[in-house]
Amino acid sequence: SSTRSRRMTAVVQAVAQRAGTIDVQRNENFGKLRAGYLFPEIARRRKAHQEKNPDAKIISLGIGDTTEPLPKYIADAMAKAAAGLATREGYSGYGAEQGQGALREAVASTFYGHAGRAADEIFISDGSKCDIARIQMMFGSKPTVAVQDPSYPVYVDTSVMMGMTGDHNGTGFDGIEYMVCNPDNHFFPDLSKAKRTDIIFFCSPNNPTGAAATRAQLTELVNFARKNGSILVYDAAYALYISNPDCPKTIYEIPGADEVAIETCSFSKYAGFTGVRLGWTVVPKALKYANGEPVHADWNRVMTTCFNGASNIVQAGGLACLQPEGLKEMNAMIKFYKENAQILKTTFTEMGFSVYGGDDAPYIWVGFPGKPSWDVFAEILERCNIVTTPGSGFGPAGEGFVRASAFGSRENILEAVRRFKEAYGKRN
């Protein structure tokens, strides 16, 4: 009957409606985040520009992504490990979640031999960014957080996701202590004015400003953390780009840092591993929570629970990086990108811009005072077909600057310089 079929229809509709209605609330912290993560947002704008200008040969000095082929010695080690997987003798399944013993040893002796870190304090991973997110799991939602302003956006965004912050107030997130770093303070925060927080994220050489902190400054930072009983999460991803002998390449060169600091680092910008993926985090045994429990034990728990170890093929590549031949090739690669940085820095300086960074880091920080940095980004893209990164994407104090990455082929860097000169050369 028609009554029966009407009833059937109503039931079908109700089920259909129900199927589309999830009864789970969104993690409200995700609602606090602004737009997309910085680099995908830049990629979106680049794509839109390309669609509007199909013939444009866009050069990216945006995301710090390596461009040069892997050193052969390092690639060969990975190829050999991959081929070995096809043999009974060479096959391996799960490895230690903390990384292969030989690689932990090699990282400890190569980078921390002079700074007292042992192999069992090194945890190998798929990269610094992922480690920063996992480090946040240890802290939970209660701690307060400080960052350099400007800084790598992952510190703030993961703090927001964890629920450590309030809402965005139009300038920054409530509850985050933004420690301003600008030309006036030589890009090192005035710690006498900084509020005490539980966690301090600090990156040296800094992404995006390119400023490397000196031994005296890092001593001040470690003492500040010790005085306040704060944990320092020290991002050293660009440390090998440091030329200034006055700037330590690891926080553990500073006395007392082992009791307050976790350090993250990566092969990405050293060996062109941005796509290969390999990094590490150092958690000293001497670092303890307020109740005396070692942070090391919790980090081990996080890594064994949430991570299954870095790829065995990639770890073979990492080990090759740290052999004499690999180290030589890795250093040559860093030297190449540093030359790019000098070419960019010289160009902007000659055109009369205020330019920072570039000497101890693969990033150049260029001042466009009084102009919103997203507008400068758009203008450079429009006039030069060059992608940069707007300074404000790194924090409120990044407004008025853009970052140019020195990762690129020499040909592209020289072409970028030509276009910049053509568009902005007549400034003065």
Residue 129 makes contact with ligand MLT by CB under 6 A: yes
Residue 367 makes contact with ligand MLT by CB under 6 A: no
Q: Can you tell me which residue has the tokens 């920080």? A: 365
CB of 284 to ligand MLT, least distance (A): 24
* Contact in structure between 379 and 386 (CB atoms under 8 Å): no
Give whichever of 62 and 189 is closer to ligand MLT, judged by the CB atom: 62
CA distance 86 to 78: 13
Q: For residue 15, count CB atoms less than 10 angstroms from its CB and return exposed for 0-12, middle for 13-18, buried for 19 or more.
A: exposed
Give the tokens for residue 253: 């060169």
Give whichever of 249 and 269 is closer to ligand MLT, judged by the CB atom: 269
| Among 58-66, 228-236, 256-264, 339-347, the segment contacting ligand MLT (CB under 6 A) | 58-66
Give whichever of 129 and 338 is closer to ligand MLT, judged by the CB atom: 129
Which residue's beta carbon is nearest to the bound ligand MLT?
A: 64
For residue 178, give Cα distances in angstroms to 41, 200, 356, 374, 394.
23, 10, 20, 20, 11
| Among 59-67, 104-112, 337-345, 354-362, the segment contacting ligand MLT (CB under 6 A) | 59-67
CB of 45 to ligand MLT, least distance (A): 15
Give whichever of 69 and 275 is closer to ligand MLT, judged by the CB atom: 275
Which of 33, 43, 58, 63 is the binder for ligand MLT (CB under 6 A)? 63
Give, as ranges, the residues between 144 and 173 that touch ligand MLT (CB under 6 A). 152
Residue 64 makes contact with ligand MLT by CB under 6 A: yes
What does DSSP assign to residue 288?
Answer: B
CA distance 322 to 265: 14
CA distance 423 to 428: 12
| Among 60-68, 80-88, 163-171, 350-358, the segment contacting ligand MLT (CB under 6 A) | 60-68
Give, as ranges, the residues between 191 and 230 that touch ligand MLT (CB under 6 A). 207
* Contact in structure between 235 and 201 (CB atoms under 8 Å): yes
Helix axes 101-112, 312-321, angle to 10 degrees: 30
Enumerate residues 6+ apart whose C-beta is below 8 A from 338.
241, 243, 362, 406
CB of 104 to ligand MLT, least distance (A): 22
Interface with ligand MLT by CB under 6 A: which residues? 63-65, 129, 152, 207
